[in-house]
C-alpha cells in the first residue's frame, strides 16, 4: 500500500446548503468509486471553496457519507482574478495499491475545465 493524493472539484450553480452538500457528496462518491476505495482507506481530506460559497461546510457531506472518523478540513480557495466561481475542491490522502499514474482524479460539471489533462 502507498499513500496517494486524489484531487477533485465540482462547480455548483448556486450557493444553497443542499446544493453544496449534494455536489460534495457526488464528488466524494465518485472519488471512492473510480479509485475503488472505502472510507477506511482515507487518511484525510482537505476541502476548499471559492469565496462565493458560504452556505455550508463541504466536510458535512463527507460525514454524511460515513467519514466521521476521517480528519476533514475546510479552507478558502485563493481569490484570483478571472478564476472559476462556485467551486468546491478536494485533496484526499488515501492508502491504495494504485501507482500514482493509476489514481483517478475527479472533476465534475464545469470544474472539468480546471484540469482537462486529468479530469475523468
Q: Where are the domains of the chain?
A: 2-114
CA 115 vs CA 3, 41, 70: distances in Å: 22, 25, 26
Q: What is the pTM of this model?
A: 0.94
Q: Tell me the HSE value of 18 on the side-chain side, using a 13 A CA sphere.
A: 0
Length of the chain: 120
- Give domain 2-114's CATH architecture: 2-Layer Sandwich (3.30)
Residue 118 has pLDDT above 70, yes or no: no
pLDDT digits (tens, 9 = 90+) for 32-84: 999 999 999 999 999 999 999 999 999 999 999 999 999 999 999 999 999 99
Exposure of 10 by Cβ count < 10 A (0-12 exposed, 13-18 middle, 19+ buried)? buried
Amino acid at each position: 500500500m502507498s499513500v496517494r493524493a486524489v484531487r477533485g472539484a465540482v462547480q455548483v450553480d448556486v450557493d444553497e446548503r443542499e446544493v453544496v452538500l449534494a455536489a460534495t457528496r457526488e464528488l466524494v462518491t465518485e472519488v471512492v468509486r473510480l479509485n475503488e476505495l472505502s472510507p477506511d482507506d482515507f487518511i484525510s481530506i482537505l476541502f476548499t471553496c471559492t469565496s462565493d460559497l458560504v452556505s455550508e461546510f463541504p466536510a458535512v457531506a463527507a460525514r454524511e457519507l460515513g467519514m466521521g472518523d476521517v480528519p476533514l478540513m475546510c479552507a478558502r480557495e485563493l481569490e484570483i482574478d478571472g478564476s472559476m466561481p462556485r467551486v468546491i475542491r478536494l485533496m484526499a490522502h488515501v492508502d491504495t495499491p494504485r501507482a500514482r499514474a493509476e489514481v483517478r482524479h475527479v472533476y465534475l460539471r464545469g470544474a472539468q475545465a480546471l484540469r482537462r489533462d486529468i479530469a475523468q
